[in-house]
Amino acid sequence: MILKWIKKTEMTGWEVSNLTEALRAEFENKSNALFKFTKSYPLAAISLDRNYFVVMRDYLCNTVDDKQNMLNAAAENEESHKGMTLVRILGDAVHARNVILPEGINYRKLELDGDIISIFFDDGKITTNFQEINKLWTFYKLSESEILETFLGFTNEFKEKVKIEKQAAKTIDTDFFGTLTLDDELDSYCGKILLDDTEIQLSFSNFEKKQFDKNLLTTKKAIAKSKELQDSMMNEMLKLKNDVWLDEDQSIIDKAEFSTEIKLYGLNIYEDGDMEFFYTAGDLFWGHEIASSVDSIGEYLESKLIG
């Protein structure tokens, strides 16, 4: 089931249990559940081409040094903050990201025209897009005044895309990753390596040679510190598990118990060098997996549940 209806008098935006799967099903014409959802919940919208979806809702949040730390979980108490999840189809992949929004605004409606987002509220309308609104990505940990200032400054600005001469070779031989093979459908060079006797699937987005070679180097360095990156992921996701995902009558679990369920199985490397590490998580999150974002210099950013 894609939709999990919560018995409440008012809709919360959390009725859809898996946004990435729901958008993929919508895009492939296997479901119109998201479209129906947007008709019942005005703070959600889907583009006509079914490539983009947004939903505004209340997230679990706490304040650290006057900065808002919004988590990828529904608010269940007074520690909440308004935010939005952005979901988009990119090739064969579905990407999701959360952004934080100002408090104290009576939001009325969302509309999507392609990747252009219109946010209606009592005092007017803000128009932005999937690229520009990333300035409010939850990783940046902004204060309330910074969130409001950034939000009110949106002008639907786009950065011009520069035409890139991608590589055409069917295979690329590397010293560390072995032979990478071009997958035409994914437009990515794919391969695998063994890490602690575990096979890790690799996918490098195709790009111009200079940046691609740089991505090979930074990925090698990131793999060398994979245990450190996994430790950062576990610190974040263990808190989410104990705060939100414990089964009824289940005791709080410790890091050692958590780690026994975690297994790295895949790594995607994007054009700009940013990376995502993918982990299975056993039954920790009821079958969901974990995706960890790592930046282009190999520094841990954040983790989220997928699948």
Blockwise average pLDDT, block size 10, the chain, 307 residues: 50 89 91 92 94 94 86 79 92 85 95 94 93 86 92 83 77 95 90 93 92 94 95 94 88 94 94 92 91 90 86
**Alpha helices, DSSP H, located in 28-185:** 33-40, 144-152
Q: What is the pTM of this model?
A: 0.57
pLDDT given for residue 77 in this prediction:
66
Q: What is the DSSP string of 229-255?
A: HHHHHHHHHHHHHHHH-PPTTPPPP-H
Please give the structure tokens belonging to residue 129: 């897009």
CA distances from 183 to 47, 68, 140, 286, 287 (A): 28, 40, 34, 32, 28
Q: What is the pLDDT of residues 33-90, one digit of tens each?
A: 999 999 999 999 999 999 999 999 999 888 888 888 888 888 876 688 999 999 998 8
Nearest to 223 by CA among 303, 293, 277, 279: 277
E strands in 166-262? 171-174, 178-183, 188-195, 198-205
